[in-house]
Structure 1
Amino acid sequence: MSRIGKNPIPIPDKVNVTVDGKHVTVKGPKGELEQLLPDHVEVVQEDGNVIVRRLGESRKARERHGLSRSLVANMVQGVSQGYEKRLTVQGVGYRAQVQGTTLVLNVGYSHPIEIQPPDGVQFQVAERNTEIVITGINKEIVGNLAAQIRAVRPPEVYKGKGIRYKGEYVRQKAGKAGKK
């Protein structure tokens, strides 16, 4: 049995979970999320917990069991606490700023890069315009947006310039050895 799938999901106060067949809706203080779960699983509310059970022992059912439980748990955490990703901009003259809701990146190109946030996602810039904070209630959207921003200028291995996740370690390579 799936170790992840068999764990019950506790429902915090001020969070309301509605199950309608395969359609799960979670409402909380930060917003509302919906998810259509795959076949082969059922979702049940019992004693202030949400429990995901699989409907058989087929390979598909076992695959979807842990996935479905993780999706519902991420929705519950998202509407109660939210998610946040931090990125760091490193490089001389590299900076980020927020204009209205748009994130504007100056990272060595001839033009600034403007990124519009999807609904429910906010940008903040901190620490001398070198740290980007992405917040939202949907873990998937926040993570994908952080990856897209990092892909604008990934950290390069010789000088370390670029956009990286906060705490990410980029191994530095040695440059050319000088002639003797």
Structure 2
Amino acid sequence: MDATPTTPYRTAAAIARAIATIATDSFGPTPETLRTLGDIARHLSAAADVFDAYEPITIPGLTGHDMPVEAAGELWLVEELVFDRPATRIPADITEYVKAPLTGRSLPFPDPLNPLNDRDTAKEKVLRDALEQLHADTARAAADVDGWMRDVLEAWKQHMRLAAAVYADQMRPCNQP
């Protein structure tokens, strides 16, 4: 395996570690949420360690990068934790950022919220545009993984807060058909 930090496995490890650090630095509304953030960080760190030590399988004629089974298991646990605990304010698709260097898939993007008022529509546009710009900034993503990932997660966190507000607005009796 190429030991340079630009290999897909090293990139995946760097992204996993950046998210783990952010999860560790995050605050939660309850002790349970804080424990979950710690668990998320531990599983991401474990996945990063696997990526760093991984010797990829090369098969002539096959393109792409294989996913180490142990790392896939750790990432699956992260997915379960963030799905079960939305109070972490970590998006359910967060592991797609880690997997992207190996899979070549597009980075995750939030579904449209379809707010009922112009103010929330404008906020959503600003957040979606910011996330789109962050996703397109591949130079920064490569040079400053930690800072880039912090900005990405902040955009997601703000979008998740807006989504909760939009949902509450849509559920108000006066907005029901």
Q: Calculate the TM-score normalised by the size of structure 2.
A: 0.29
Q: Which of 1 and 2 has greater Rg?
A: 1
Q: Calculate the TM-score normalised by the size of structure 1.
A: 0.29
Judging by fraction of residues, say which structure has more strand.
1
Judging by fraction of residues, say which structure has more helix.
2
Q: Which has the higher contact order (CA 8 A, sep 6+)?
A: 2
